[in-house]
Structure 1
Amino acid sequence: MGQSLVQNFIHIIFSTKNRTPKILPPIDKELHAYLGGVCNKMDCQSIIVGGGTDHVHILCNLSKKIALMKLVESVKSHSSKWIKTRGEDYKDFYWQDGYGSFSINPTQVEAVKIYIANQHEHHKKKTFKEEYVGFLKKYGVEYDERYVWD
């Protein structure tokens, strides 16, 4: 085969350190756009970025040229540096150390886009912790809750 053809839709989730509610208007939309821009610069087409006051969801098409770990590392480090330039309220902004990532069937991309777009409504009924543990269970990810949160 002469060509490398790849289509990997990835749903990435991570929170602020200790789930501190730092992602508030008006910075939330700017942050989401910035996160999507970092993905795009790394050749990982951003489809949608959204989240709540204490976490983000990124749906992107992972490039065949980059490891997932490198993408997440870059997204988190660049955005953390960027948000600290946005004012005094963000000088102590940090992301949690870990992240969750789940592969998405191409037939489910539209449903995930809608899910991410409706995060604020969704979190009126469910906390981030409940949501995240739900994803781990849905995708059959083994975990020890003592080490999931920081």
Structure 2
Amino acid sequence: MASTFTCLDYHVVFSTKYRKPSIQEALRQELYQYLGGIVRAEHGCLREIGGMPDHLHLLVGIPPTIAVSDAIRVFKTNSSKWVNERGDQIGKFQWQPGFAAFTVSVSQREVVSQYVRNQQEHHRQRSFQEEFLGLLKRHQIEYDPKYVFEQEHVG
């Protein structure tokens, strides 16, 4: 019997490249299912997933044998490859570089799960940028605003 016991849940947030609304309704549920498969393949547990056309929230358990950044890199890389191989997207589907990840205690799991599940409601009142900066502030993460949101360069 193993003698290592962990419960490592994270609230993970990342957006599409330049926050373009690339996750349309026709893609959303299949993408969520595919991401669930990726998480399971990495021996994780997808507890909740939700989002908007320009970003995703995951409440995910990640095993102690994989670094959070490595797990999220696999989630993003494999899912964007899958979306692009489908061939039904207009243009190339990409995730932004980077992400935000916050630890979640068991006592707060249901609260975060509801938050992730109710993204449509949250975004009637605030933009993704407002939400993201609010999460960084709430978790006392210092940041330089010029590095938070990648801007598309035209010309």
2:17 is the counterpart of 1:4: no
Other structure's SS at 2:65 match: coil
Other structure's SS at 1:126 match: coil
Other structure's SS at 2:56 match: strand
Is the 2:10–2:61 Cα contact (8 Å) retained in structure 1?
A: yes
2:115 is the counterpart of 1:118: no
Distance 1:121 1:141 in 2: 25
Name the count of aligned residue pairs.
149
Is the 2:22–2:54 Cα contact (8 Å) retained in structure 1?
A: yes
Aligned structure 1 segments of 4 or more residues deviating by more than 4 angstroms: none
Q: CA deviation at 1:37?
A: 1.4
Distance 1:72 1:7 in 2: 17
In structure 2, give the amino acid aligned to 1:94: Q
State the TM-score, normalized to the length of structure 1.
0.95
Determine the structure 1 residue equivalent to 2:153: none
Determine the structure 2 residue equivalent to 1:106: 106
2:84 is the counterpart of 1:84: yes
Instruction: Name the % identity.
Output: 36
Other structure's SS at 2:86 match: coil
Other structure's SS at 1:26 match: helix
Is the 1:16–1:22 Cα contact (8 Å) retained in structure 2?
A: yes
Determine the structure 2 residue equivalent to 1:21: 21
Other structure's SS at 2:85 match: coil
Q: CA deviation at 1:91?
A: 4.0
State the TM-score, normalized to the length of structure 2.
0.92
Which runs of 5 or more residues in structure 2 are unaligned? 151-155
User: Residues 91 and 84 of structure 1: is their aligned pair in 2 closer, same or farther, counting only changes over 3 Å?
Assistant: farther
2:107 is the counterpart of 1:131: no
Distance 1:110 1:91 in 2: 37
CA RMSD after TM alignment: 1.2
Distance 2:70 2:49 in 1: 18
In structure 2, give the amino acid aligned to 1:136: L
Determine the structure 1 residue equivalent to 2:40: 40
2:63 is the counterpart of 1:63: yes
In structure 1, give the amino acid aligned to 2:109: V
Is the 1:12–1:59 Cα contact (8 Å) retained in structure 2?
A: yes
